[in-house]
Structure 1
């Protein structure tokens, strides 16, 4: 896989002044939280304030400029406002507004009042209510974890989910999509508005003509360098290529090498390819496994020049720090017997690493993969828009076994397919979806909170 995504989490412990409550108790709360933060899974780097303010705990508004500068200098991707007692909403709101990154709000569940004096030592939850109101007044979106102890599983899971949310937002707001060729004429459904993507979301599309693609792929084929040979051998090791032939396989490998280099050179997160019929006319092959291999390598790729589809795949892979591939599928037909199951299919572009253990992978004579995907929990998404309004469809399902078909495929089962079907027909969506193994719907829904003009459309 391509280098995974790392999130820098700036942790800002907050206390209500030096004398409102005990500093010692605030430090105890801070230590417990940081002890749990050390257990977080995923590519997360913790940035604390220990080197810039006393005890690493923010206690007064005069510290705000120092905290802002430190977090910005460290280029944090998200901020965690850790209430060590009631907290100080001015620090929470002003720092959150200035840094402008996803913001997490949490404070530990308080101990019981002293049995003899009745004194409470922190009133943390009370302060969370104050901070959340002021964040709304400042126009700062936020995520919160319910009031719990620092060693509760809900705290660890909440921080992990928030960091994955921050990864989706980070990638979305710096996204560049390589577009090779044009949409097939018959696919009016994959039209997109390039200017809107740039103005609304900062998503840049890097166009590359099919003629340029053809010339450079042919040059790579002619040179037959080590990368090409290694890639051909890798493909042969993964799947039966006997029906395809070495000359055609060399073209597929050259396409992969070229697109990977172009994506790196142009800082692109994803790619949309005019897979037919131009490539078949020019090269005599279909680039189905170009799409599959690139996605498997951490370069999310979409068929049929579907730029919105490529955007969706990049978001999905970011939810898992780009550590596993997605797959790009058609919603194709209903299961012949199961009313709540649907075929996820495409000609042959699914990553081979996702195949079922009992499926024997092969390339057909045109370069299309032939295998069934494994079973398990999956998340399905589609970024799309119409008339200037954009939303992200989000749903969770199970990949199941079902009737065999050609190409790459799996069947998915949902709770109520009729609701899904109506959503796709009436919403601004098409038959293309991006899919990833695992449950990431909550993360994608929360990410939309931090992306202006993108509505979460969860089923």
Structure 2
């Protein structure tokens, strides 16, 4: 199995200060390296910048900076091994627009004569202050021993934060057609997304996609037949062979267009012009793409597909996100809510065997998907904004039983549905949410400080999130 940490590369910069024992700092830097190796962390080391392999002067800082830039690191790990040279840490970190992790191993007890070889905790206070002076945001992993469980969890969580930031900054979205006229709620500011976040759109008209479909069919592209075989394997097919071929062709065409324009995601005007052109709904095609890590959302919801990318990145891609409309209250559970769509849930998230039904009660066309999503605790996420301000709504809910619903769906129970509902109404959010069966709220929260996005909660859990990040609790899910 591939190491999920390989997708993120850290620059490892252990540091010391001259007035404390260099030998002790070298020893603890070695222990830190051994631990990172045992964890399978992908990191770039600085053992070759000087005899100690430690950061403490300008010459070493310059060499470390060049090495990390050449390696294109995704995050910087400042490990304070005795007291640390705070200004060199800050000078180094200032050169990179990446998340920064600050940690140092717990100091030993004083020797019998009262002397100490290290002064790590005091140095952490100094480094934190100077990072603030340099206006470098950073993540603090509390002063624990290297073998404490909090260390391993903290490093793993930081890698997930780096992956969220890396994904966000590299996002380019294929926009197929304008938003449907009736969906004013999915309006976005393309210029702001580029100016604020370096997120760019690649807009194409629907006819360009349709032309790609027809060319694929005319050439009997092998990926169409492969996709048909996949659909027959993962779902019960209740549509004609002709419509099934169109579902497959649409999926392949969307994928090819995303590759052509260098996009990692897409959004499509899913109705009604598309049905006039090719006679199907796009949802089954999108469900396949969700599972392949190239999500496409409906109603040209640009902010929605960004939400999907972020919540999946917070799991290092180990969980695929469902993308759902927040539809209606549970008929019996006062805190229950229906999360539903005509598709756009990855097939891998199904609790029961999916179907491709002849039509759906909303649109009388083939191409939708039907199944109930898996049970479990979900993290919900919505990146959104208006009036020049952007935030990320996040929180948890758990799957509960509820009535059968057409399309893809799951009933979720919230701690307080009124709080969630009110957040969506007051905004800047809308009724589309991305969700994964993993507790990644603290990851998303910590990532916000590096994204210039305000974290937002629909439940009063911010102190629990802080407690988790400090290592005081194991999970924010009660």
Q: TM-score, normalised by structure 1?
A: 0.95
Contact 2:251 2:285 in 1 (8 A): yes
Tell me, in whole angstroms, the C-alpha distance in 2 between the residues paired with 1:180 and 1:6. Answer: 29
* Pairwise CA distance, 1:427: 2.2
* Pairwise CA distance, 1:310: 1.0
Matches within 5 A, 1:23-42: 23-40=22-39
Find the counterpart in structure 1 of residue 370 from structure 2: 370
Tell me, in whole angstroms, the C-alpha distance in 1 between the residues paired with 2:118 and 2:457. Answer: 37
Contact 1:61 1:90 in 2 (8 A): no
Q: What secondary structure sits across from 1:247 in the alignment? A: helix
Tell me, in whole angstroms, the C-alpha distance in 2 between the residues paired with 1:121 and 1:330. Answer: 58
Contact 2:180 2:271 in 1 (8 A): yes
Tell me, in whole angstroms, the C-alpha distance in 1 between the residues paired with 2:398 and 2:104. Answer: 35
Tell me, in whole angstroms, the C-alpha distance in 1 between the residues paired with 2:288 and 2:307. Answer: 18
The reply on whether 1:423 has 2:416 as its aligned counterpart is: no
Tell me, in whole angstroms, the C-alpha distance in 2 between the residues paired with 1:158 and 1:414. Answer: 28
For structure 2, the 5+ residue unaligned runs are: 359-365, 459-478
Tell me, in whole angstroms, the C-alpha distance in 2 between the residues paired with 1:257 and 1:237. Answer: 17
Tell me, in whole angstroms, the C-alpha distance in 1 between the residues paired with 2:221 and 2:255. Answer: 15
Matches within 5 A, 1:323-362: 323-356=318-351, 359-362=352-355
Runs of 4+, deviation exceeding 4 Å? none
Contact 2:26 2:53 in 1 (8 A): no
Tell me, in whole angstroms, the C-alpha distance in 2 between the residues paired with 1:336 and 1:155. Answer: 45
The reply on whether 1:455 has 2:444 as its aligned counterpart is: no
Q: 1:165 aligns with which of 154, 161, 164?
A: 161
The reply on whether 1:227 has 2:223 as its aligned counterpart is: yes
Tell me, in whole angstroms, the C-alpha distance in 1 between the residues paired with 2:337 and 2:30. Answer: 49
Find the counterpart in structure 1 of residue 11 from structure 2: 10
Tell me, in whole angstroms, the C-alpha distance in 2 between the residues paired with 1:274 and 1:110. Answer: 59
The reply on whether 1:290 has 2:291 as its aligned counterpart is: no
How many correspondences in the alignment? 449
Which has the larger displacement, 273-282 or 284-293?
A: 273-282
Find the counterpart in structure 2 of residue 100 from structure 1: 97
* Pairwise CA distance, 1:64: 1.6
Cα-Cα RMSD: 1.6
Matches within 5 A, 1:35-50: 35-40=34-39, 44-50=41-47
Q: What secondary structure sits across from 1:13 in the alignment? A: strand
Find the counterpart in structure 1 of residue 463 from structure 2: none
The reply on whether 1:240 has 2:197 as its aligned counterpart is: no
Contact 1:272 1:310 in 2 (8 A): yes
Q: 2:255 aligns with which of 248, 256, 260?
A: 260
Find the counterpart in structure 2 of residue 208 from structure 1: 204
Tell me, in whole angstroms, the C-alpha distance in 1 between the residues paired with 2:199 and 2:193. Answer: 5
Tell me, in whole angstroms, the C-alpha distance in 2 between the residues paired with 1:30 and 1:415. Answer: 44
* Pairwise CA distance, 1:40: 3.0
Q: What secondary structure sits across from 1:227 in the alignment? A: helix
Tell me, in whole angstroms, the C-alpha distance in 1 between the residues paired with 2:297 and 2:47. Answer: 45
Contact 1:88 1:131 in 2 (8 A): yes
Q: What secondary structure sits across from 1:422 in the alignment? A: helix
Contact 1:355 1:374 in 2 (8 A): yes
Tell me, in whole angstroms, the C-alpha distance in 1 between the residues paired with 2:39 and 2:306. Answer: 28
Contact 1:14 1:84 in 2 (8 A): yes
For structure 1, the 5+ residue unaligned runs are: none
